[in-house]
Structure 1
Amino acid sequence: MGESVSQPIDIVPAAEPVYPQWLGHPRPLWMLFMTEFWERFAFYSVSWAIALYAVAQFYHGDAAGQGWAGAIFGTYTALIFSTGIFGGYVADRMIGCQRAILIGALVMAAGLFVLTIPSKPAFMGGLSMVVVGNGLFKPNISSMVGRLYGRDDPRRDRGFTLFYMGINAGALAAPLLTGWLASTFTATPLEQNYRLVFVAAGIGMVLSFLWFWFGRRQLGEVGRPLPGQAARSRAWLVLAGALASIPLVYLLLSRMGTVALQWLIGALAVAVSALLVREALSHGRIQLHRVWAMLIVFGFNVLFWMFYYQLGSSFNFLAQNLVDRRMFGWEFPVSWFQSISPLTIIVLAPAVSVAWGWLGRRRAEPSIPFKSGLGLVFNGLGFLVLTYALAHLLGSRGLIPFWPLAACYALQTVGELCLSPIGLSMVTKLAPPRLVGLAMGGWFLSTAAGGNLSGLLASRISGEHGMTAASALSGFGFGFWLLLGTGSVLLLVSPLINRLMHGVR
């Protein structure tokens, strides 16, 4: 994480850094997850609304627009996460994590307000700004969590799980509040109410910026520019580069198809892998093995998010058109389904953290690859529930009950708890010390690949005329079998991956 290659920089100290403790963890942890709380509020406010808004605004509610809207959501998700490799690299080499986060938050906030302009160019431009800003923000705040703990601190995984629980409070609040804004706040057409969602998201991002601006002093030297990187001109240069990259992202989002984008993401993945392997070679055989283990888990991570991110596209269209949402004379808002996942995390994350700790004290805690395999299997079980409902519970009005989609979200979230926070922690433990930010960007790049594939799948399920029960059954059944198969393979080969990790758990 510096310009000088002659002095290795220990991103994750061997001894625990000295911080005031609160509730058993370093106090800056709570500042970081409140910063992320507001960023996630903004992100999930937009995520649930993008595809539905696109159909309402640009296709006047015609189901024929679902395929395009689903593909746009997948491409947007892919770009959101793939730009993390550049944000991580910029922080490592140029300005440090703290400045990268602040610049990213400003660009994201501006993009969210641009989304309120009712035109397709503004819609694409606003999304492009959010993509660029998120690339600077997301990998760097996650990597700083790991730096609050010593390399061998047993609280690290639990700290990431608590961080994950805290930020999901924002993800829980976002669909509830903004879904209410979109459905009941005014009597105007729905596409206009969606623009209120984007205003709320922009305000949330401004709050995220302010929270980090005033709280970053708690971090001490963590994330600050290294010697030789402190000049403010570097921050202005990065801001100028971010603004200059917005037109490029606009072209990728609006002109490049999902297939071509997948090839581009693949090329970036090869480049990141090569940089990590080259750095690992300078540290010896053990570090090289650890990088290979990390890259293998990255590959399985792609499949998890390919199906998880149906939440922003095909799951929304399923909820809107094929789920009976009436209860007690009231209709459950489509957006509120997406609060099930963060609610499940908030309820279960403390129990999962305690369970991992209890097993760890008895030397029985599952390894990182085994936990990731469990994540894939639970994700698959969610699709099994939907497949069963579409095959056997379709009513006379062509609707399935409320509970299968709710159960799918909950099962997917159990899988997410097994895979996602553990993956973030894995990167800080297995990556070469000088390239933790780049490796975190690589983790999000694998998520990007999954997000892009999710758009391909959602577009296929919707087809040219919109989602039907038959097309949903076919697509979700495919998801079940692929997730179950790959999850089982990862569980079986996890002992081999453990050997490559050389004692890291």
Structure 2
Amino acid sequence: MTQAATESMPPEFPTTMGHPRPLWMLFMTEFWERFAFYGIRWALVLYIVAQFFGGDPTGEQPASRTYGAYLALVYASAIFGGYVADRVLGYQRSILVGAAVMAAGLFLIAFPEKHIFELGLATVIVGNGLFKPNISTMVGKLYGVSDERRDSGFTIFYMGINMGALIAPVITEYLAKAVFGSLDMPSYKVVFMASGVGMIISLFWFWFGRRGLNNIGRPPAGGESMKRVAYVLVGIVAGIPVMYLLLAVGAGFLQWVLSILFVALAVLLLVEGIREGRVQRDRVIAMLIIFVFNVLFWMFFEQAGSSFTFLADKIVNRQLGDFVFPTAWFQSVNSLAIIGLAPVLAYIWIRMGRMNPSIPRKFGLGLIFNGLAFALLMLALSDMVDASGKIPFWTLFMVYVIQSVGELCLSPIGLSMVTKLAPLRLVGFGMGGWFLSTGIGNNLSGIFAGHVSGETGMTTASALDGYTFGFWSLMGAGVLLFLIAPLINRLMHGVK
């Protein structure tokens, strides 16, 4: 039996709630990593404006661009993390090293000095590149390619992501404003340090739980030596300054770098697909087409940490009786909606039976729902602005909910899709490609958010102009994907 065939047949694991028991360990590892990641999400742009621009609204555009570039590099670095796991360290060691590096970066950004702050972001980027794609790939390796539980397992794993993301903004905002700071002077460094503690918990959770994985994710043949870990650590030390420089050069230049990386990755995957035959070649082509639409989805979806944060802070009426809804809590609405709606949507897909939309049409639905969220913002900013220049609280709240429906149509399906369509020898590399396409979208999201804020800070007019563009872009792409779905399905050769 070939190595590839062996890897496609995972061992029989004891089950909990019908799924391999290690799934639940990976669920909690990802829960705490997402706590760390989303714990800082609400605070980054507000902190940059307050700390490095003295609170001046002219800082909104560079803050959004920095945030977008940071997110882009977080996801783009996954391409290298996937390669390291596939060929050098194995998945388990990559996750452990990545978690340790991320924790160090989160504590670094707590220092209120611009260069150290950016160095900390660069460190988080490198660590996340080793962690993020590989824990998702580990989930896929718990199931055989034809295992009917596979999509359900990824959906459960996705719930872990969103449970961590749900509680993180609430807890970190409470610590920053009610415990160690005030509404007017939040203690942002506490936000970053609390996220660092969450990352340490994730590290130890995986360290003690990895024994249940058996040989899944162990180092590749001949790679058991700790020398390889040392080589990767040297690469990390070299990679952090590179990421620091990429953050510094600006979002425009970074977009060229990411685009070149994407083309190179597409060529490598295509070469491997051609080597394995016509069917695998076609599946790689289908996967790459969907990656392009994924870029557009995240370009507009990932306004949550940038332009939507400024919108909530400046233009949304957050007064609910005697209670002012915290800006940070909007970051939890997406996760709350996903936790509530994921079982509903999963039930709908099952009930539809043969009428269940194909993968490309689910992606099309994701784009369309994202577009509908921007349609609501267009309506609010044109017809619902009150005398004080603010829009109703419920409009932004529902924008997050509507976007969440779109995300559920796209993101968990995308993770599963990559493990089915990528060449077997390069699944981690393919997962890196998925995150690279997400990263390109995130960098564009920062550029777009900078346009929404303009040179002097966000206004009702600048927001309306930007979000109108978002609506038409998303709706056009969603309709196009619906029209070409039959072609993509043929290229997938029976993969559902």
TM tier, smaller: over 0.9
TM-score normalised by L of structure 1: 0.96
Structure 1 residue 10: deviation in Å? 4.3
Cα distance 1:217–1:187, how it changes in 2: closer, same or farther (>3 A)? closer
Structure 1 distance, partners of 2:371, 2:177, is: 31
How far apart, CA to CA, are the structure 1 residues paired with 2:6 and 2:475? Answer: 36
Query: Given the two structures, how large is their TM-score scaled by the length of structure 2?
Result: 0.98
Q: Deviations over 1:387-414 (max 9, x none)?
A: 1000000000000000110110011111
**In 2 relative to 1, CA 135–11 (structure 1 residues): closer, same or farther, beyond 3 Å?**
farther
Unaligned runs of 5+ in 2: none
Contact in 2 for aligned 1:80/1:135 (Cα 8 Å): yes
Q: Does 1:240 align with 2:240?
A: no
Confirm or deny: 8 A CA contact 1:345 1:417 kept in the other structure: yes
Determine the structure 1 residue equivalent to 2:49: 55
Q: In 1, are the aligned partners of 2:10 and 2:141 still within 8 Å (CA)?
A: no
- Determine helix, strand or coil for the equivalent of 1:154: coil
Pairing 1:205-284 to 2, within 5 Å after superposition = 205-254=199-248, 256-284=249-277
Match of 2:478 in 1: 487
Whole-angstrom distance in 2 between the partners of 1:11 and 1:498: 28
Check whether the contact 2:299–2:442 (CA below 8 A) recurs between aligned residues.
yes
- Once residues 421 and 7 of structure 2 are traced to their aligned partners in structure 1, the CA distance between those partners, rounded to angstroms, is 10
1:132 lines up with 2:123 in the alignment: no
Distance in 2 of aligned mates of 1:12 and 1:121: 44
Q: Partner amino acid for 2:43?
A: A
SS in 2 for 1:204: helix
**Cα distance, 1:237 vs. partner?**
1.2
Q: Do residues 394 (structure 1) and 385 (structure 2) align?
A: yes
Partner of 1:78: 72
Equivalent in 169, 173, 176 of residue 175 of structure 1: 169
Q: Deviations over 1:49-68 (max 9, x none)?
A: 11010011111211110001
Residue 325 (structure 2) pairs with residue 332 (structure 1): yes
User: Using the alignment, how far apart are the partners of 1:46 and 1:246 within structure 2?
Assistant: 20
Which amino acid is 1:347 matched to?
G
Partner of 1:200: 194
C-alpha contact 1:12 1:428 (8 A) present in aligned 2: no
Contact 2:365–2:478 (CA<8 Å) still a contact in 1? Answer: yes
CA drift of 1:371 comes to: 0.6
Q: Distance in 2 between the 1:11 and 1:127 partners?
A: 39
Aligned with residue 93 of structure 2, among 75, 96, 99: 99
1:273-328 deviations in whole A, cap 9, x for unaligned? 11111111111100000000000000000000001111010000000000000112
Q: Please say if 1:459 is aligned against 2:450.
A: yes
Are the aligned partners of 2:97 and 2:130 in contact in 1 as well (CA < 8 Å)?
yes
Q: Tell me the CA shift for residue 16 of structure 1.
A: 5.8
| 1:7 shift after superposition | 5.6
Residue number among 63, 69, 76 corresponding to 2:63 in the alignment: 69
The Cα of 1:180 is off from its aligned counterpart by: 1.5
CA RMSD of aligned residues (A): 1.4
- Maintained 8 Å contact 1:88/1:441: yes
Measure, in 2, the Cα distance between the counterparts of 1:244 and 1:192. 34
Q: CA deviation at 1:196?
A: 0.7
| C-alpha distance in structure 2 between counterparts of 1:149 and 1:442, whole Å | 21
Q: CA deviation at 1:191?
A: 5.9
Cα shift at 1:353: 2.2
1:410 aligns with 2:401: yes
**Whole-Å separation in 1 of the counterparts to 2:428 and 2:181:** 47
Q: Per-residue deviation at 1:158?
A: 1.3
The separation in 2 between residues aligned to 1:189 and 1:337, in whole angstroms, is: 16
Q: Please name the residue that 2:296 is paired with.
A: 303
Note the C-alpha offset of 1:262.
0.8
Counterpart CA distance in 1 for 2:207 and 2:391 is: 47
CA shift for structure 1 position 171: 0.1
Verify: 1:372 aligned to 2:363, yes or no.
yes
Give the counterpart letter for 1:300 in structure 2: F
Counterpart of 2:311 in structure 1 is 318
What is the alpha-carbon distance in structure 2 between the residues aligned to residue 469 and residue 11 of structure 1? 58
Asked whether the 8 Å contact 1:106–1:209 carries over to 2, the reply is: yes
Return the alpha-carbon distance in structure 2 between the equivalents of residues 122 and 31 of structure 1.
34
Secondary structure at 1:400 match in 2: coil
Instruction: For residues 395-441 of structure 1, give each alpha carbon's deviation from its aligned partner in whole angstroms, at most 9, with x where no partner exists.
Output: 00000000110110011111001100100000000000000000000
Count the aligned residue pairs. 496
Q: Distance in 2 between matches of 1:346 and 1:232?
A: 40
Q: Deviations over 1:114-147 (max 9, x none)?
A: 1111110111011000000000000000011111
Q: Which runs of 4+ in 1 moved over 3 A?
A: 186-192
CA–CA distance in structure 1, aligned partners of residues 20 and 120 of structure 2? 36
Judging changes above 3 Å, is the alpha-carbon distance between structure 1 residues 34 and 307 closer, same or farther for their aligned structure 2 residues? same
Shift of 1:495: 1.0
Whether 1:118 aligns to 2:112 is yes
Instruction: Please tell me whether residue 384 in structure 1 is matched to residue 378 in structure 2.
Output: no
- Residue type matched to 2:222 in 1? G
Q: 1:357 to 1:51 in 2, by over 3 A?
A: same
Quote the residue 2:495 is aligned against. Answer: 504
| Worse-matched range after superposition: 67-76 or 147-156 | 147-156
SS in 2 for 1:324: coil
* Alignment partners' CA distance in 2, 1:466 and 1:34: 39
Structure-2 residue corresponding to 1:478: 469
Question: Which of 287, 290, 312 does residue 294 from structure 1 map onto?
Answer: 287
Partners of 1:283 and 1:43 in 2: how far apart? 37
* 2:96–2:203 contact (8 Å) kept in structure 1: yes
Alignment identity in percent? 57
**CA 1:394/1:10 → structure 2, altered by over 3 Å: closer, same or farther?**
farther
